[in-house]
Amino acid sequence: MGHLPAIITRTNGLCSLFWLTDQLLLALAGPHTQAGQARPDVPEQCSKQAPGRCVMGTSWWLWALVAVCTGDQFRDEAERIMRGTPVIDGHNDLPWRLLTMFNNQLQSERANLTSLANTHTNIPKLRAGFVGGQFWSAYTPCDTQNKDAVKRTLEQIDVIQRMCQMYPETFVCVTNSAGIRQAFREGRVASLVGVEGGHSIDSSLGVLRTLHRLGMRYLTLTHSCNTPWADNWLVDTGEDKAESQGLSRFGESVVKEMNRLGVIIDLAHVSVATMKAALRLSTAPVIFSHSSAYSLCQHRRNVPDDVLRLVNQTGSLVMVNFYNDYVSCRQEATLSQVADHLDHIKKVAGAGAVGFGGDFDGVSRLPVGLEDVSKYPDLVAELLRRRWTEAEVRGALANNLLRVFEAVEQVSDHTRRPEEEPIPADQLQASCRTMYGYSEAPSLHRQPGALLASLTTVLLGLGLL
């Protein structure tokens, strides 16, 4: 059988393999030599009492060390890969936590990001997790819709930009794929703005364009509420009523304008009808910034297989969410189950369709082994253990997102005329808004009833009725 790899030792955290002679093979096989004489170096109790137990115990110990060492080798390999290709995460809610914990007062001593406690994210954890790019969520809840959603969104974008200003050695705010690559070279975290929820634009193409100028590089079309122009995932559970049957005519204008501007379309949180409508309409790939696979966990926030096949056809991307409820459909989950979702998306949509969107600091329950942002290397090690190639791992870490971002940039065309037609007035909730522009502007799709009422008023005023 030749020499046997047997003893595995730990030296400075690395595993070293030693090759033993055939004498060790004989020792493991039994306490007697081929001549039938007892070996003086084999313990007495092994020779006389339970030779089988001795061999079994040695074998168990050996393979336990092999398993430990192999695990360390995968972890070491993960770190080696991540030093060259750090992770770009699709969704982190630290800015929201800074609002709820400190009312966005970043100069508070307790808000210091180098020592921030009771969060999934701080600077040391980002470093330990080899995070090199982060879409920070500029999130405001659905109860701000038709109220102060735009103001709240601007404040959260401001927080992200102030993070970059206060910690320039760690964060650099960027707005394009080239900026991400430059941040990688500098060893800083490329920080991008993702606006989570279409209600943040208040059904205004002008606001959409303005948020783009302020750095927004993806917009989630809905959060967990319908907008006047797109349906959210709760429609698929029956908790909300479909209003746009996916995307309304104005919703289609939003998608087209995002393509023109170079804003990534994010389909996390939307209904299946909205997913399919956006995937078919968009001329650039789209992302799901923090969603998992519906086939493995039948939660409507996840992506069904027929949509995954559209993701494959369009070169789009699903960045897997770590929230237990979307991973296992239970309160408990494991790192291995997250890897199952990555495996499934790779199988159905292709290796180029997989990314990470942990949803850290936006969820209350995380899998064992993925408790905070420092744990990414452990997940990568698990993918390597499952025989993912280095190229596939680098794709999931960053290259798939960079490919999508570059495609979005190539499709964008700021010389093209922008979308201008406003949303019809009757699709807006007017209780907290003025209606300047609607009364005299042409071609605003006023309904026949509204036109008849206006005509009646004019005729009455002229004394003709």
Catalytic positions are 91, 93, 196, 223, 269, 290, 359
How far, in Å, are 221, 285, 316, 389, 434 from residue 410 at the CA level?
21, 11, 15, 28, 38
SS3 44: helix
Listed in sequence order, the residues at least 6 apart from 443 whose beta carbon sits closer than 8 Å to its beta carbon are 421
Task: Quote the tokens at residue 57.
Answer: 């115990």
The 8 Å CB, 24+ separation contacts for 114-118 are 114/167
SS3 16: strand
SS3 424: coil
Task: Quote the tokens at residue 289.
Answer: 């910034």
Task: Quote the tokens at residue 368.
Answer: 């064992």
Task: Quote the tokens at residue 423.
Answer: 């949303």
10 Å Cβ neighbour count for 168? 11
Q: How many residues can be counted in the chain?
A: 465
How far, in Å, are 75, 77, 376, 379 from residue 14 at the CA level?
10, 11, 20, 19
Return the amino acid letter for 144. Answer: T
DSSP single-letter state for residue 421:
P
Q: Where are the beta strands (DSSP E) in 240-358?
A: 264-266, 287-288, 317-320, 354-356
10 Å Cβ neighbour count for 407? 18
Rounded to whole angstroms, the maximal C-alpha distance in the chain is: 127
Are 435 and 214 a contacting pair, CB within 8 Å? no
SS3 313: helix
10 Å Cβ neighbour count for 94? 24
Strand partners, 189: 171
Task: Quote the tokens at residue 364.
Answer: 């209350």
Strand partners, 264: 218
Name the burial class of residue 118, with classes exposed (0-12), middle (13-18) and buried (19+) by CB atoms within 10 angstroms of its CB: exposed
